[in-house]
Amino acid sequence: MNVAIIGAGVAGLTLAKQLSRSGVDVRVFEKARALGGRITTKHLDWGQVDIGAQYFTARDQRFQSQVKLWLDEGVVSQWEFTPYRKTNSTLVASPDATPRYVGTPGMSCIGESLAKDLDIQLSTRIDHVYSSVEGWKLVCANGSEIKNHFDWVVVSAPAEQVPLLIKNSPLDIPIHQTVHQPCWALALATRGDVDNQIQGFFGDDIVSWVSRLSSRPNQIISNEFDDCWMLHFSSEWSNNNGRDTLVDIERLGFNWLIESLDNYAIEPLSLLHSYTHYWRYAKVIDTRVSQSYIINEENQIAVIGDWLNGGRVEGAYLSGLELSEHLIGH
């Protein structure tokens, strides 16, 4: 059996790893130049920042076992801190017992670990797939076709992109057109001093979450600045201020951060560098769907992704894992 997987996020890489270990011939195709999907680490000329998932949790025992392996390998570390919450224009401690983990030195290390020894073709945008007498064929965005044919094809992509990829081969279960909400991400490198207690906090209807990236374990931070912050704007705000917004995201975000940290700033912050990224497919609107994967046994095509299983890193891992168990079992 040979399998084509479209998408090298956590779900796709997990599936590929598990199938490969069982002797299945697997090829992964990824449109981006890097692995990981929303756990990507952006390498900038002034530093590296995680612009997607800021941490992940592990509730399922199967995923906890994988996290234990990553901890032993030094791929991830536990981020031990007390989260805060913005309430009435100030920050209030909001402690919980949830273990949080981060990739070290960046979230992309998780994808790199999963990708070891796999056949992955980066910078390859698949436009659509179709079924031939020999098996599944993949057509690239430039019109060329991947030379090989495949017994199975698995799409690991945001729900909104799946119908176009499989337009000639509908699945048994219809896929909703709107599953995600967008998110503006803003990285800020600053000079100044903020109370060390503040490492991450939940925001408001403008910015929903802030990570003090420079406080996370085993991070690589330039000596040029004191701190690096990652602001994730709320889904509603990001939806109302799309990719072509005229709003100065940098100025708005920096002013919002200064105001939020007012009671915890020991030395005033000044801005040295910034970077913005618009995630079109970020937060899953409805996390009640929990089916791990969609499959058409007769046509030998399937869909996986975090959006099918809660919208988190753990959900992505379990989506790929459970489909691998199903395919290997067959």
List pLDDT tens digits, range 139-177: 999 999 999 999 999 999 999 999 989 987 766 666 777
Give the range of the structural domain holding residue 221, as residue numbers without chain letter.
71-106+180-284
pLDDT digits (tens, 9 = 90+) for 199-225: 999 999 999 999 999 999 998 788 899
Task: Establish if 64 belongs to a structural domain.
Answer: no
pLDDT in the model for residue 260:
97
135 lies in the same domain as 150: yes
pLDDT digits (tens, 9 = 90+) for 245-299: 999 999 999 999 999 999 999 999 999 999 999 999 999 987 556 689 999 999 9
100 lies in the same domain as 135: no
pLDDT in the model for residue 172:
62
302 lies in the same domain as 266: no
pLDDT in the model for residue 249:
98
30 lies in the same domain as 139: yes
123 lies in the same domain as 25: yes
CB atoms within 10 A of CB 247: 13
279 lies in the same domain as 209: yes
pLDDT digits (tens, 9 = 90+) for 16-35: 999 999 999 999 999 999 99
88 lies in the same domain as 187: yes
pLDDT in the model for residue 310:
87
251, 182 Cβ separation under 8 angstroms: no
CB within 8 A of 91, min separation 6: which ones?
Answer: 84, 85, 198, 201, 260, 261, 263, 264
CA nearest neighbour of 221 among 109, 107, 112, 105:
105
Give the tokens for residue 7.
């998408």
Give the tokens for residue 321.
């894992």
Task: Establish if 56 belongs to a structural domain.
Answer: no
User: Does the pLDDT value for residue 66 go beyond 90?
Assistant: yes
What CATH number did the domain enclosing 134 receive?
3.50.50.60
Average pLDDT, the chain: 94
Task: Establish if 242 belongs to a structural domain.
Answer: yes
296 lies in the same domain as 317: yes
The residue with greater pLDDT, 170 or 136, is: 136
The pTM assigned to this predicted structure is 0.95
Q: Quick one: what percent of the chain has pLDDT higher than 70?
A: 96
204 lies in the same domain as 170: no
The residue with greater pLDDT, 174 or 188, is: 188
Q: Tally the domains of the chain.
A: 2
pLDDT confidence band for 330 (50 / 70 / 90): low
Mapping DSSP to helix (H, G, I), strand (E, B) and coil, where does residue 229 land? strand
d(CA 12, CA 303): 10
